Structure formats: C-alpha cells, structure tokens
Chain A
C-alpha cells in the first residue's frame, strides 16, 4: 500500500536559520505532491503544490523539491521566524487521483 514518511516528528531551530523537512514515499509514483501547514486546533492550510515534472517550486521564503527517483520531497523555509512554528504536512495524490494521503507531519519550533 501507499506509504508516506515524514522523517522527523519534531524539528527545533533558531530564528534566521533554514529549516529543512523531509517527506519520503514508497510503493507508487504520485503525479502531485502538496505541502500544508497546520496550527494547533485548526485545519491544515495549503502552502505549495509540485508536479512530478517539476524539480523545484518556490513561494516567498518557501522552497519545495520533488525527486521522483529518490521518492522524496524536501521542504525548506529560509530565514525562519518564530511565526513559522507549526506542524507541516506532506500529502500525495492517491493512485486514483481522487484524494490526498497525508504524512503524520513534522512539528517545527523556531526559537528567537
């Protein structure tokens, strides 16, 4: 079955540093990969989508890479700020393309 792993449950970094979060998947080749942010007590909020034929996508301080050979996506936040502290979820389209399969998330804490 399709499986997604986000390698770190928690990541602690200092303000101003670059945070790098990892998402690995097995058992299939998704056409799309999405990243979401979730704050406590709230629903996830969409951040970025990257397609299988795109190697990299950027949005302000965010950068996502998608390596279909390694079956891995990296999510970077540059010049991190305490306001970036949240749980970040990786999500892949299921084989039918009808729904998203989410990883368990990585909780990022940025200290000032």
Chain B
C-alpha cells in the first residue's frame, strides 16, 4: 500500500509569511507525529496525535507553530510569521498505534527554506 506522503516536497518562503505543510499518513494508522530536522542535527519531536485524544504539543518550539489533524487522518502543520531559523526539513511519521514502541513510518519530508 501507499506510504506516508507529504506535500509540498520543497517550500521557499519569505520571512514573515505563513506556511502550511501537509501529511497524509498510512491508512489505518492512528498515531501521527511531526518532527523537524535541521542541518547536522537529529530529529526534533514537535507534536503527536493519537486517535481522538488531545495532541501532545510539548515539542512545539513557539506559539507560531500549530498543527491539526482532521478526521483522524490528514494533518497540517502551520508555521506563522516564519523566521530564518525555521528553515529545516519537516518530517511526518505515522504508526499503527500510539506509544513509541511501535515502528514509525516516515514520509519523505518537506524542505522549508525561509529567505
């Protein structure tokens, strides 16, 4: 079946603009994660959705970042008033169930460049 897909694959924006990044998880996966990977850095956890539970937003770096997951499927990560330090690859992952003992399936990422 289809894997995790993300769009766009690349996004170039100007400082101060808002951006939306989309993630389509694997069908049937109840857990969805967003991570950020900056050059030379490891993956940084941003937010976690599990079913209808309240999301774990503990990794969001500032209130300019928000995410939603509609209908338990597609998720959108929104960054408002982008800054140059937001430039990174944003990765989405899904897993069959919640909790970090489950294998996570990653999408190809969205490379965000803020000029």
Contact = CB atoms under 8 A, between A and B. Distances in A.
A and B together in one complex: yes
Interface of A: 4, 31-32, 34, 41-46, 49, 51, 89, 91-94, 96-105
Give the bracket for the number of chain B residues in contact with chain A: 20 to 34
Interface of B: 4, 33, 35, 40-45, 48, 50, 56, 59, 91, 93, 98-101, 103-109
A100 B103 contact: no
Contacts, number: 69
Contacts of B106: 43-45
A89 B43 contact: yes
Contact of A98 (B4, B40, B41, B50): B50
A100 to B, nearest CB: 5
A94 B100 contact: yes
Given A32-B100, A44-B43, A96 B56 contact: yes
Contact of A93 (B41, B100, B109): B100
